[in-house]
Structure 1
Amino acid sequence: MKKQFIVLTTALALCITTAYAQKSEDKLVSFGIRAGVNLQKMYGDDFLGNKLNNDFRTGFHAGINADLYISEGFYLQPGLLYSTKGAKKANNTQNISYIELPVNLLFKPELGAGRLLLGAGPYAAYGISGKNKTKTGEAAIELEAKFKNKVSAADYLNAAYYVKPFDFGGNILVGYELNSGFSLQLNGQLGLSKINPEIRDVTTDQRKWKNMGFGASLGYRF
């Protein structure tokens, strides 16, 4: 999975570099920065197959993107973000930090003093750190995330916090961009990949943890 993430990141860098080389001639690309708040949780099933009952937790995201011109009003927008996700339930909080690569198809029709933003597309993400914190009275237990695709039954029972490193899913967004370059954007995200690792030789594990969330951000396009 790590190799897949490196390939995706390299492809983004090459795409932006190629478009930048053309900028002076045909204005095919513009660059932007974006940062905002996340409301994220995990949905799916627990070990026994019961629906997860998590609450949303607050996180944030920040990063860069590029608008690559396709045709009148349409752009391909790859980006690279640092994004925090996770879930909250009673006295337990899960936090996972990702490097995320979204690639959205944007429709940007002119509207008033700027452009409307409508977009959708896939994302891929790679986990780089995380914590699972449980409070019991005045005490708290914190476990650092360990990123593995498969674990043994002994590992699972060893009071550790295991998650898969790789995640992917889909984005949708709506927003408005002023001619000055400033923009406001709302987005939704639905994870399609299980982020809980498989437990070897355990057939009763019905866990299906997946990320989902919403966000709002401010941006500036140069």
Structure 2
Amino acid sequence: MKRIVLSVLSLFTLAAAVKAQSTTSPMSSPGSSVIIKGGVNFANISNKDDGGYDDSRMLTTWQAGIVGDFNITEFLAIQPGIFYSSKGVKLQNGNPGDLDYVKTTFNPQYIEVPVNLVFKTPTGAAKLFFGAGPYVAMGVGGKFKTDTELFGSSESDIEFNDDDPLTEEQEDAGVFRVRRFDFGLNGLAGFEAGAFVFTANYGLGLAKIASTGDNSEDRNNKHRVFSLTVGFKF
């Protein structure tokens, strides 16, 4: 929890620094701004060869971060950002009270950096927007929890390996180790109303999470995250 608090405080500090730079630099573009965002993640992990997943495995988590909104034209902007994002999946067999009840929660935490190209409608102060772009992420923490009826509960820290994200081969692999680096694609839509920004985003992970798998084998074992966030622009 201490690490999470420090990470969020760092994001707010960075937002203030970026805003100060944009208002004092002669190179800053008109209309550029900074958006502080936070919201809920509906996280899952693909378990099918076509990249699909089971809705029953969804884990409700959260994210918080900042986004730069830099206008290229009146209706087109580039939006780089940095987020602390909680992902994962849950698995459950049986119900509480049953002898075979087992609930497992896999909840890794990432520092994620998206860069999206965003189109905004020409509708004045209230605008719809649509965008897409890539993201990269680095694992920084998380928990693996198990609750059972017969043996009680257990919890352990998620262990990341030191795999090179630029290669297909799995350096420092292990059965219970997770790749530290993730990457993928974002698709987003939302609207601005004055200083408030509401966004729906879908993150399609392209890197396998388990360190023993090859990215090119199939589309199993990859992050799938739908998020809803509220932001304040200044």
Q: 2:33 is aligned with what amino acid?
A: S
Is 1:164 the counterpart of 2:166 in the alignment? no
Shift, 1:140, TM fit: 1.3
- Aligned partners of 1:170 and 1:25: how far apart in 2? 28
- Aligned partners of 1:134 and 1:94: how far apart in 2? 9
Equivalent residue, structure 1, for 2:135: 123
Q: Could you say if the C-alpha distance between residues 133 and 191 of structure 1 is closer, same or farther in structure 2, counting changes exceeding 3 Å?
A: same
Instruction: Choose between structure 1 and 2: higher strand proportion.
Output: 1
Equivalent residue, structure 2, for 1:184: 198
Contact 2:44 2:53 in 1 (8 A): no
Equivalent residue, structure 2, for 1:3: none
Shift, 1:45, TM fit: 5.5
Residue by residue over 1:14-33, the C-alpha shift from the partner in whole angstroms, topping out at 9 and shown as x without a partner, is xx698665468642521110
Equivalent residue, structure 2, for 1:175: 190
Q: Could you say if the C-alpha distance between residues 184 and 124 of structure 1 is closer, same or farther in structure 2, counting changes exceeding 3 Å?
A: same
Contact 2:184 2:207 in 1 (8 A): yes
Q: 3-state DSSP class of the match of 2:44?
A: strand
22-31 or 76-85, larger mean C-alpha shift: 22-31
Shift, 1:93, TM fit: 0.7
Residue by residue over 1:62-86, the C-alpha shift from the partner in whole angstroms, topping out at 9 and shown as x without a partner, is 0111111111200000001000000
211-220 or 139-148, larger mean C-alpha shift: 139-148
Shift, 1:142, TM fit: 1.6
Equivalent residue, structure 1, for 2:70: 68
CA RMSD of superposed structures (Å): 2.9
Give the percent of matched residue pairs that are identical in Structure 1 and Structure 2.
Answer: 37
> Within 5 Å, which residues of 2 pair with 1:1-222?
22=25, 26-27=29-30, 29-44=32-47, 53=54, 55-90=57-92, 91-111=103-123, 113-137=125-149, 139-148=152-161, 149=163, 150-151=171-172, 156=175, 161-179=176-194, 181-198=195-212, 208-222=220-234
Where do 5+ consecutive residues of structure 1 fail to align? 1-11, 200-204
User: After the TM superposition, which parts of structure 1 deviate over 2 Å for at least 4 consecutive aligned residues?
Assistant: 16-26, 51-54, 110-113, 149-152, 205-208
Contact 1:20 1:29 in 2 (8 A): no
Contact 1:23 1:29 in 2 (8 A): no
Shift, 1:194, TM fit: 0.8
- Equivalenced residue count is 193
Structure 2-normalised TM-score?
0.73
- Aligned partners of 2:221 and 2:26: how far apart in 1? 42
Q: 1:68 is aligned with what amino acid?
A: F
- Aligned partners of 2:28 and 2:137: how far apart in 1? 33
Residue by residue over 1:146-187, the C-alpha shift from the partner in whole angstroms, topping out at 9 and shown as x without a partner, is 1113446xx53xxxx4111000001111111012x1121111
Shift, 1:207, TM fit: 9.3
Q: 1:132 is aligned with what amino acid?
A: F
